Chain A
Amino acid sequence: MTSDLDQTFSALSDPTRRAILARLTLGEASVGELAGPFDISLPAVSRHLKVLEAANLIERQKDAQFRRCRLNASPLRDAADWISRYQEFWEDQLDSLAGYLNELNKTETKPDKPAKPNPK
């Protein structure tokens, strides 16, 4: 599970691969169709597809002459879960910090003991 998540984030850490995934949300596509919008070679696109396939983010037809690619969204859901869990954790953590700093402010601005009276 953990290494899957590593792989998902690693696969997502590239703008071309994210664009390929975005394209595949619209439906299946051939390698040629996927390469279309990018100013890179077909072998380069093929390398990106291998990374996405290894991360289980896409599936490729095994036997067809033109191996069409299809999005597999479940690892993306795991990544989104990881993000939202931590998002919530940090929001909570910062709530606590804000509460602590507010208390600190109060004790500083309203000391228990009155300030020293002017000696006169």
Chain B
Amino acid sequence: MSPDALNDHVINIERAFAAAPEAVFAAWTERDQLVQWYGPDGYTVPECEMDVRVGGGFRICMMEPDGTPHWVVGKYLEITPPEVLSFTWAWEMEDEVGPESIVRLEFVAEDGGTRLVVSHTGFDSLESRDGHNQGWVSSFESLDRHLS
């Protein structure tokens, strides 16, 4: 993978949580927990299917307070508890699935809590996904280390 891959990480957000990585990871990977918080403030999760294994899919409905549903679908690409969770991401709109992008979460133990790093990548990184994702991810990491 070329250094161009660095640019694929178009969104990077970090947040510190006062909970251990295991707990934060579980909030993303256990259905009973996820439905309690997923979506922006005020949203509810009336429906949620998730098959948490590499290659498994999820389909989650985030409902606005006024009842407008927003479905997101994806597949799990990497599951390394409690460190990394990565999945594809696409909005479902009227029987049509929008463009896929990739979300990667890193759970970093820090000061007794967790620093969560969210990267949401652009679309072109998908070309290298199929069959190559693990290699892509690890080569990206080594590239990152090399450059830092």
Contacts and interface: CB of A to CB of B under 8 A. Distances in A.
A100 B27 contact: yes
A96 B10 contact: no
Contacts, number: 86
B67 interface: no
A90 B27 CA distance: 15
The size bracket of the interface on A is 20 to 34
Interface string A73-101: 00000010011001101111111111111
B37 A18 contact: no
A20 B37 CA distance: 43
Contact of B120 (A13, A18, A90): A90
Main secondary structure of the interface of A (DSSP, over half): helix
Given A14-B4, A93-B40, A97-B37, A102 B18 contact: yes
20 contacts: A2-B98, A6-B123, A9-B122, A10-B122, A10-B124, A13-B5, A15-B3, A83-B10, A89-B40, A91-B13, A92-B41, A93-B40, A95-B40, A96-B38, A96-B41, A96-B43, A98-B15, A99-B37, A101-B23, A101-B27
Given A87-B11, A94-B118, 8 more contacts: A10-B122, A13-B8, A15-B4, A90-B11, A90-B118, A96-B41, A99-B41, A100-B37
Interface of B: 3-5, 7-8, 10-11, 13, 15, 17-19, 23-24, 27, 33, 36-41, 43, 98-99, 116, 118, 120, 122-124
